[in-house]
Amino acid sequence: MAEKINVTALKAELYSQKSVSVCNQLLADKKSPFGIGSAAAEAAATSAAMVLLALGGSDGSDPEVKKAATDAETLRTYFLRLIDEEIKCKAPLEKRLVDGAPAEEIEAGYRTACVIIDEILYTCIMLAELLDRVSDKISPSAADTAAASVYFAKTAMHTVRLMKAYYSTKMNEEVFARTTRREPELAIEGSEELMNGLIAKFEAMIK
């Protein structure tokens, strides 16, 4: 017989629609499903919002600026959606831990929990690439905002790196554990030149 579905459990709470105050309070609550993965998505969404704010000081009639703003808004709303997706993605893992499931099922839960946080990391790199394409069009008056947006993206990415490092310690399969830890490190190393270059460029404009 198929497992009976708990319809009530299907009604997911949307944390992305809560206020900053509520999310901050939830993050401090050990019993809340809102964890550092959700905080990483929130930081990434803030980064995208800052890119939009920085672009607001540029020529809005410029086709490249308009395209960048449209894309940044798409990424901003996507990051907000990832707050909820990250919470849903790790729910099976949390249930298995509470139920005392077999080790292989718990390890599978950790692998599943990596899916959305990987998305946060790689989409942050996309956001930086977007900003790089219009970096010459950023007004000096918005340079501080543009630089801050990159710092927020880096914070989100390093949060993902730390989460995956922790998850890797819970995996018994050595190759997968090593890959889980090393993959975000390589992605961050590969984007360092881009991100540090943007920060240096924008900070040099603050005079």
Query: Has residue 133 got a pLDDT over 80?
Result: yes
12-26, 32-46, 156-170 — which one is most confidently predicted on average? Answer: 156-170
pLDDT at 1 exceeding the cut of 50 = no
The residue with greater pLDDT, 10 or 184, is 184
Share of the chain residues as helix, strand and coil, in percent rounded to the nearest 5: 80, 0, 20
Residue 123's identity, in one-letter code, is T
**How many whole angstroms separate alpha carbon 5 and alpha carbon 14?**
21
From the CB of residue 10, how many other CB atoms can be counted at a distance below 10 Å? 7
Assign residue 113 a region: left if phi > 0, alpha if psi is -120 to 50, beta otherwise? alpha
Each residue's pLDDT tens digit, 65-81:
999 999 999 999 999 99
Question: For 115-125, what is each residue's pLDDT tens digit?
Answer: 889 999 999 99
What's the pLDDT band for 14 if we cut at 50, 70, 90? Answer: low
Task: Give the pLDDT confidence score for residue 12 in this predicted structure.
Answer: 54
- Per-residue pLDDT, averaged over 95-101, amounts to 83
pLDDT of residue 60: 75
Does residue 5 carry a pLDDT above 60?
no
Least confident of 9-18, 29-38, 49-58, 153-162: 9-18
Q: What angle do CA 88, 92, 178 make, to 5 degrees?
A: 100
Residue located via tokens 């600026």: 65
The mean pLDDT value for 38-57 works out to 95
Which pLDDT value is given to residue 13?
63
